[in-house]
Amino acid sequence: MSKSISIIFGEPKHGWLPVGFRYDDFNIEFSASDVLNNPMEELYNAIKNKTGQVTWWLEPFTYFFSFDNAGQDYILTISEADDIDGK
């Protein structure tokens, strides 16, 4: 049985993009900065290439969404760090 991921984007305001992510009972909501990187471009490239990483910078906290292709399946790994350097 396949399960769906839902990503909902709010209206950007002053360089911050509201993001809602849902998968089954797992939900996170955050506002990502557009400073230092373009997370929407990274997301587009990761989906188009079926692999890649998206950095959602929350200044200083960061979420990393890593997309990998495993045959017919896709793997999404979500990690977090205290800063954009991944520390």
- 3-state secondary structure string across the chain: CCCCEEEEECCCECCEEEEEEEECCEEEEEEEECCCCCHHHHHHHHHHHCCEEEEEECCCCEEEEEEEEECCEEEEEEEEECCCCCC
Q: How much is the pTM?
A: 0.86
Write out pLDDT tens, residues 3-51: 788 999 999 999 899 999 999 999 999 999 988 899 999 999 999 999 9
Residue ranges of the domains in the chain?
5-81
Write out pLDDT tens, residues 41-52: 999 999 999 999
